[in-house]
Structure 1
Amino acid sequence: MIHLLQTLLLLVFPALVIFAGLRDATTYIIPNWISLALVAAFPVAALALGLPLPTIALQFGIGAAALVLGFAMYAVRWIGGGDAKLFAAAALWIGWPAAVTYLGLTGIAGGVLAVALLGIRSAYVRPFIPSGPRWLARLIEPGESVPYGVAIAAGALAAFPASALFARL
């Protein structure tokens, strides 16, 4: 029973990160409650999985550093405010040393996403994209921003198996 509870607590992270990425792709908005839920659920999951207190403190330090980095990227308009908060909340769950992997994979996923959107939004490809829901029309609209929450979700999901939390399972 305890193992099932621990597994369910660990599943909070991928579920919320996937939802945030999908929400960003379809609305260009990542609601604050998603990042807040990630931050609130982390200590519960960490304690339930028996993560040592110094490791939990380090995880919070990684999350705080990611928040500073996220808001620096927001200040130069590379990402949105919701992206910055999601980036930090995910970093809290990822921790050290998987944060390096998370940062690298998120950057790569963001680059791939940007190049893919540039290609889809080009005058050569866009006419071949069938009409669909309004969110898709906005996503392929030239000049629209990049829903970076998708890249953050991809990087977070790819790095999560290397996290201290995942290792405790």
Structure 2
Amino acid sequence: MRELSFVMHVATAAVLVWLAVMDVRSRRLPNVWVLAVGLLFFANALVVRLPFADVAFHVGTAAFVLLVGAGLFALRMVGGGDAKLAAAISLWTGAATLPATLMLVSLVGLVVALLGLATRRLDPVSCFGPMRALAMFSCQRGVPYGVALAAGGGAAILLPVLVPLLKH
């Protein structure tokens, strides 16, 4: 059971990495991959036999985050994919660790925003190699906040299963 749960956590982190790459490249977070993050939570909940009340609490947290995200989307402060991804990540974290997760996301988001500002005059089409990768972050195309969500959320999802391994 524990090994399968670990695999699901790592798979979720891998999906988040893929979403970050997609956001940098196209400024899109495809629903099917965001849905995979949420479905992996439910699969993991079955594997670890998470009580129904706990699952319901996680779902309630995700619904609240989605509602707030929808409001921010309506105000054009975040993208729709970002709102959905934040809700999917909050399924994993629940309310207890949501503030810490949001802090991680915010710190990474600051780095992403600064990188976007620093590269705003770079054109990915005219750059090569590592400079092209940096130019992909240019805020001229919008801030790829999915990167911050993926990194901060991924850390929050992986840390609970990695820390016990490091203690042994």
Name the TM-score, length of structure 1 as normaliser: 0.81
Alignment of 1:46-57 (within 5 A): 46-57=45-56
Code of the aligned partner of 1:131? C
Partner of residue 155, structure 1? 152
* Structure showing the higher helix proportion among its residues: 2
Partner-residue secondary structure (3-state), 1:96: helix
Q: How many residues end up aligned between the 2 structures?
A: 162
In structure 2, how many angstroms separate the alpha carbons of the residues matched to 1:27 and 1:45? Answer: 30
Partner of residue 143, structure 1? 140
Query: How far has the Cα of 1:80 moved from its partner?
Result: 1.1
The range that moved more, 82-91 or 138-147, is 138-147
Would you say the 8 A contact 1:109–1:151 is kept in 2? yes
Would you say the 8 A contact 1:64–1:88 is kept in 2? yes
Alignment of 1:35-74 (within 5 A): 35-74=34-73
Query: How far has the Cα of 1:48 moved from its partner?
Result: 0.4
In structure 1, how many angstroms separate the alpha carbons of the residues matched to 2:139 and 2:53? Answer: 47
In structure 2, how many angstroms separate the alpha carbons of the residues matched to 1:137 and 1:7? Answer: 32
In structure 1, how many angstroms separate the alpha carbons of the residues matched to 2:41 and 2:95? Answer: 15
Partner of residue 22, structure 1? 21
Q: Give 5+ residue unaligned stretches, structure 2.
A: none
The percentage of aligned residue pairs carrying the same residue is 31
In structure 2, how many angstroms separate the alpha carbons of the residues matched to 1:46 and 1:12? Answer: 14
In structure 1, how many angstroms separate the alpha carbons of the residues matched to 2:2 and 2:159? Answer: 19
Partner-residue secondary structure (3-state), 2:72: helix
In structure 1, how many angstroms separate the alpha carbons of the residues matched to 2:68 and 2:18? Answer: 23
The root-mean-square deviation of aligned C-alpha atoms, in Å, is 2.9
Alignment of 1:76-155 (within 5 A): 76-122=75-121, 126=122, 131-132=127-128, 136=133, 139=136, 141=138, 143-155=140-152
Classify 1:33/1:142 alpha carbon distance in 2 versus 1 (closer, same or farther; 3 Å).
closer
In structure 2, how many angstroms separate the alpha carbons of the residues matched to 1:82 and 1:148? Answer: 10
1:30-51 deviations in Å (ceiling 9; x for gaps): 1100111122222111120122
Code of the aligned partner of 2:63? A
Name the TM-score, length of structure 2 as normaliser: 0.82
